[in-house]
Amino acid sequence: MTFLAPGAALTAGLLAGAALLALYMLKLRRRPLRVSSIELWARAVEDLQVNVPLRWLRWSALLLLHALIAGCLVAAIGRPAFEAGGGVAGRVVVVIDRSASMSAADGDPAGRTRLDVARTRAAESIRAMARGGSGTTFSVVAFAAEAETIVGPTPDGEVAAVSALAVGPTDQPADLSRAMRLVSALTAGSSEDSETPTLVIVLSDGSFEQDGPVSVGAGDVRFVRCGPEREARALGGADNLGIVSLSARRDDRRPTTVRVFVRVLSASAEPRSTVLTLTVGGAEVAKRALTIPPGGEAGFATASTTIEFEWAGSGVVTVSTPGGDALPGDDAASLLISPAARPRVALVTPGGDPRGAGVTPESILIDVLSALDPTTLDVVSPAEYAAASTGPVGPLWDVVVFDRVTPATPPPVPSISLGAGVPSPGMGYRPAEAERATYVLSWRRAHPVLQDVAMDAVFVRRAGVLDDDAPPGVVDVARAAQGPLIRVSDGAGPRRVVVGFEVAQSNWALLPGFAIFMANAVDFVVGRSASDAGTGWTTSQPLDVRVPPGVGRLALRGPVSREVDVERRESPWVWSVGPMERAGVYEITASPGGSLGFFPVNLVDERESALLTADTASIGGREIRSDQRGAAPVEVWWWFVAAAGVLLIVEWVIFSAKSRV
């Protein structure tokens, strides 16, 4: 047992002891009175002894009881407590969850947030272990979408405790695996059998995705739930409405019509009604009433609606709830919509425009592209394309389709290559030296390029060869036995699609899936698909910003602001920022150059908005039940107050018995 406030106990003990001694040594000053006899006054002699000044204390049951009562009250003032756990750890790592759900104000009956409770418990645990022994080092790790070391390892417990109290909230989802990988690096070399093992304390509400156990190489791992118990949360619900999904697209036939799809989650056990407000550039455009059913056994429920409005230009579309609930970070979500415009398409073929030459694979390709209703469709030769791409004016097209033509340099706009490649990492192509007949064996049906495209009947007589290595951002969406057939680049820079065979060397142009593929590919690379009509980022994604040449300073403005000086470069480059800790709309400006655009960042995470808690967690390869003590001491001051009350009753009984005549 230890005392959390020994100074207060010492002061109270001195005062109480002095007062008790003074009361027992203070003698009565009685008035003399003459009587005829003292035979009937059996205790007179004892009463006379009381009047002797400064007589030494005599043994008395009441004195003992009074001393015990005073001792119990003094001990209670000193906040006696038992240390949690049984042993001293050589290294202590405190892991604090600071994800969005930890900002919910249901951490305790006083209305503190879950993060407030986690920080307080972390600081108490660190200070208690710092008092319990020497030689212990402390580390503090905070995690949400990413994990970072706040402090440590340090032997100074107070520095670690103050650092734990300084952990700030975020609007990001929780990713425990990242935190555990960082803890594993901090605890390398520790084991349960070592003389000074590592203790890992995870303070969280448990609302994180548990993909499986993660080894941390520690002697002991404890999980401390911060928030209400799971059953209490599921039955009682939570006061939160959050937007968990948002997308937008323009009508294919009427591009000025924008449809916004929004899904709202309610964590309440009762039905909830709300009014959604849609704004464009801060101006209110539409409202929509929505009712969400009660949460039920799952603890939450969702409802969806579509809001339609007319808007021809670009802008930031924001959908918001009235707010004022448990979690402000999910009260609004935004998207950046592009202006209503049909793409300008260029088809580059070796022989130029083949129209009028009968039915050929090239003419079928032209018919398919014409059916997409582009603003313009220019069929050019490689020489004409090279002359246009090196001219002084800006890009003449929004997307370029290369048919058996590989450009000398990557085009500055999105591209689709058929039987050709692009000179960029992972997108190269070379024709087959011999016949390589094959069927398509597998394809990603969920990828936007291949949605609703059946490829089981596609036969390729001579398949080309794509680059062996696919860097990050480049994925294979269709494969044959010999290797990849269709590859997509969705990283930094314009999107690109490469088909590793010539259309004329297959039966694909005669199948319905080819026209669907071309429509999907054009929509995908120029950003006209349903998921890209409105562009947004989540708080777990970085922002990749294309920076023009000559920029020397970049500024980020929004819920989080920063400015950085950068090296001036002679060619465009990509600045990666984030992930952003706070949801909202950000603007990035360059000096010189002005605004580089707006970037809406949203939480849109069902698990975080539901505000669910967990009583167990899979950590370090074990199912660990929540230990509400953590490593903080368990205070037992109320035991001593109760003991003092019992002793006071005993003292009253004894005093009453002795007072009878």
Q: What is the pLDDT of residue 185?
A: 85
Cα gap 395→343, rounded to integer Å: 12
Q: What percent of the chain has pLDDT over 70?
A: 82
Residues 215, 620 contacting (CB under 8 angstroms): yes
Its pTM surpasses 0.95: no
pLDDT tens column, 3-27 = 767 778 788 888 888 887 777 666 5
Confidence of residue 418 (pLDDT cuts 50, 70, 90): very high
Closest CA to 83 of 119, 154, 136, 159: 136
Q: 193 pLDDT exceeds 60?
A: no
Cα gap 89→132, rounded to integer Å: 10
Cα gap 23→15, rounded to integer Å: 12
Q: What is the pLDDT of residue 83?
A: 56
Asked if the domains 91-229+613-632 and 344-526 are classified in one and the same CATH topology, the answer is: yes
Cα gap 102→89, rounded to integer Å: 28
Cα gap 114→100, rounded to integer Å: 10
Q: What is the pLDDT of residue 89?
A: 59
Q: 392 pLDDT exceeds 60?
A: no
DSSP annotation string for 453-482: ---TT-EESBB-EE-S---TTEEEEEEETT
Question: Region 94-118: what's the mean pLDDT?
Answer: 91
Residues 398, 344 contacting (CB under 8 angstroms): yes
pLDDT tens column, 562-598 = 999 999 998 889 898 879 999 999 999 999 889 999 9
Tokens of 164: 């734990």
Cα gap 362→345, rounded to integer Å: 15
**DSSP at 153:** E
Residues 502, 393 contacting (CB under 8 angstroms): no
Q: What is the pLDDT of residue 22?
A: 74
Cα gap 70→274, rounded to integer Å: 59
**Which of helix, strand or coil describes residue 556?**
strand
533-557 residues labelled b (16+ CB within 10 A) or e (exposed): bbbbbbbbeebbbebeeebeebebe
Cα gap 53→161, rounded to integer Å: 54
Question: Region 268-291: what's the mean pLDDT?
Answer: 93
Tokens of 381: 């030769």
H-helix segments, 527-563: none
Cα gap 260→537, rounded to integer Å: 16
Show me where the domains of the chain are located: 2-82+639-658, 91-229+613-632, 237-329+604-608, 344-526, 541-599
**Which of helix, strand or coil describes residue 8?**
helix
Cα gap 309→286, rounded to integer Å: 7
**DSSP at 506:** B
Give Cβ neighbours of residue 617 (< 8 Å, ≥ 6 apart). Answer: 176, 202, 204, 206, 210, 223, 623, 624, 626
Mean pLDDT of the chain: 83
pLDDT tens column, 633-652 = 566 777 888 888 888 888 78
pLDDT tens column, 536-562 = 999 999 988 889 999 999 999 999 999
Q: 357 pLDDT exceeds 70?
A: no
Q: Lowest mean pLDDT: which of 165-174, 217-226, 500-509, 515-524? A: 217-226
Q: What is the pLDDT of residue 393?
A: 47
Please name the fold of domain 237-329+604-608: Immunoglobulin-like (2.60.40)
Q: 183 pLDDT exceeds 60?
A: yes
Question: Region 323-336: what's the mean pLDDT?
Answer: 92
Confidence of residue 386 (pLDDT cuts 50, 70, 90): confident
Closest CA to 507 of 448, 434, 439, 417: 439
Give Cβ neighbours of residue 90 (< 8 Å, ≥ 6 apart). Answer: 135, 136, 137, 190, 194, 195, 196, 197, 198
Residues 285, 201 contacting (CB under 8 angstroms): no
Q: Lowest mean pLDDT: which of 29-33, 344-348, 401-405, 468-472? A: 29-33
pLDDT tens column, 211-262 = 555 555 556 888 899 988 877 665 566 788 999 999 998 876 566 789 999 9
Q: Lowest mean pLDDT: which of 163-167, 255-259, 343-347? A: 255-259
User: From the CA atom positions of the chain, what is the Rg in Å?
Assistant: 37
Cα gap 238→106, rounded to integer Å: 9
C-alpha triplet 496, 502, 504: angle, nearest 5°: 140
C-alpha triplet 101, 102, 105: angle, nearest 5°: 95
SS3 content of the chain, % helix, strand, coil (to 5): 25, 30, 45
Task: Report the top-level CATH class of 344-526.
Answer: alpha beta
Tokens of 228: 């209400």
pLDDT tens column, 473-486 = 899 999 998 889 99
Task: Report the top-level CATH class of 91-229+613-632.
Answer: alpha beta
